């Protein structure tokens, strides 16, 4: 193996570890330790994130602990097995064999894209005419971001309690950053706003001064800049807004000490017009190298998958040395 191949393998392994560590834990979920891994149980559903594929011992241990916690199904978020070479017939979604034996069904694919930080020649990312980039640093701008989320993703509006908690966290972070030289690693969002001198009808749709038309965020955890929440109103797509937001996120991540930028996106495996392998990218900007930064971004794209095993009450087999 050449040094370049080893470097690529090491980078891929680092990306998978960072992706496995990136998980959302609802406030009302149980966190259950299983064989050195963490099982997140909420109601009748359990979820576990792994950097690679599980072995049969872990599958049994997870099923047993999930059943004890009251779960009726387990979602395994794992690295996808390597796909066959081009031209070799294969199922669109190759589920890890050990999960196939457990009756797993793939319900979703996630696409990972990553690049090392800092980038040596990152563009300043100037906004298109009539728009301006603004960090979310007030409660009013935070509300605009939430309204944009709801419109683009179809999510329900945040509750008053959620918004108050988020606003308090934002104020605390901004206070911390008043110290010279301090760049917070907590959640940081940016908005693309219509300039104040715009008038209704002056651009796509009805441009309203101060209207938020795009957003994206970054959080730095363990030197990884997690990029999330990219949303652009339909009327403003195709104008390079995400490229500007992405540049801001990468600069922010670098300033906060991140050495890796990571984003993940759902991949639709059923819609028509699919790419080879039955996979179609459905999230604008899933690949960091697709946003006009190809000359400065060395990215690696790989997949993870969500596999669900039902009724986690399978009999535990004896493997010797088994521990839950």
Residue at a domain's end among 57, 80, 111: 111
Whether pTM > 0.85 for this model: the answer is no
Residues 139 and 242 in one domain: yes
Instruction: Report which of residues 209 and 52 the model is more confident about.
Output: 52
Residues 156 and 227 in one domain: yes
3-state secondary structure 298-317: CCEEEEEEEEEEECCCCCCC
In a domain, 298, yes or no: no
Instruction: Report which of residues 305 and 144 the model is more confident about.
Output: 144
For the chain, how many structural domains are there in total? 2
User: How far, in Å, CA of 238 to CA of 278, rounded?
Assistant: 25
Residues 44 and 139 in one domain: no
Q: Are 305 and 99 in contact (CB under 8 A)?
A: no
pLDDT score recorded for residue 94: 63
Residue 168 has pLDDT above 50, yes or no: yes
CATH code for the domain in which residue 147 is found = 3.40.630.30
Residue at a domain's end among 258, 291, 315: 258
Residues 83 and 155 in one domain: no
Left (φ > 0), alpha (ψ -120 to 50) or beta: where does 301 sit?
beta
Beta-carbon-side half-sphere exposure of residue 207 (alpha carbons within 13 Å): 18
Residue at a domain's end among 258, 291, 316: 258
| Angle (nearest 5°) at CA 310 between 308 and 313 | 130
Instruction: Report which of residues 246 and 303 the model is more confident about.
Output: 246
Residues 73 and 151 in one domain: no
Residue 202 has pLDDT above 50, yes or no: no
pLDDT score recorded for residue 117: 87
Query: How would residue 118 be classed by pLDDT, with cut points 50, 70 and 90?
Result: confident
The SS3 of residue 276 is helix
In a domain, 173, yes or no: yes
| Residue range(s) defining the domain that contains residue 179 | 131-258
pLDDT score recorded for residue 1: 73
Q: What is the pLDDT of residues 63-101, one digit of tens each?
A: 899 889 988 888 888 876 554 444 444 445 567 788 888
Q: Are 80 and 305 in contact (CB under 8 A)?
A: yes
């Amino acid at each position: 193996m050449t040094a370049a191949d080893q470097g690529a393998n090491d980078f891929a392994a680092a990306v998978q570890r960072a992706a496995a560590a990136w998980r959302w834990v609802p406030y009302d979920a149980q966190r259950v330790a299983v064989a050195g891994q963490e099982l997140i149980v909420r109601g009748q559903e359990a979820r576990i994130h792994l950097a690679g594929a599980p072995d049969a011992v872990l599958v049994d241990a997870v099923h047993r602990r999930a059943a004890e916690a009251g779960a009726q199904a387990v979602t395994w978020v794992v690295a996808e097995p390597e796909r066959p070479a081009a031209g070799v017939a294969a199922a669109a979604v190759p589920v890890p064999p050990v999960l196939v034996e457990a009756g797993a069904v793939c319900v979703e694919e996630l696409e990972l894209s990553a690049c090392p930080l800092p980038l040596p020649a990152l563009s300043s990312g100037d906004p298109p005419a009539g728009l301006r980039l603004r960090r979310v640093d007030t409660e009013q701008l935070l509300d605009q971001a939430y309204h944009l989320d709801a419109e683009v993703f179809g999510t329900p509006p945040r509750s008053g309690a959620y918004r108050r908690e988020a606003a308090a966290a934002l104020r605390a972070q901004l206070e911390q950053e008043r110290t010279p030289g301090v760049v917070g690693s907590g959640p940081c969002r940016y908005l693309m706003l219509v300039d104040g001198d715009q008038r209704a009808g002056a651009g796509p749709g009805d441009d309203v001064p101060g209207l938020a038309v795009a957003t994206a965020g970054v959080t730095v955890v363990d030197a990884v800049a997690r990029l999330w929440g990219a949303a652009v109103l339909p009327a403003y797509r195709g104008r390079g807004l995400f490229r500007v937001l992405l540049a801001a996120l990468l600069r922010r991540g670098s300033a906060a000490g991140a050495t890796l930028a990571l984003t993940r996106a759902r991949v639709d495996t059923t819609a028509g017009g699919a790419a080879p392998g039955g996979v179609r990218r459905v999230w604008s900007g899933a690949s960091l190298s697709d946003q006009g930064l190809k000359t400065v971004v060395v990215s690696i794209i790989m997949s993870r998958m969500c596999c669900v095993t039902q009724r986690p009450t399978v009999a535990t087999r004896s493997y010797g040395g088994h521990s839950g």
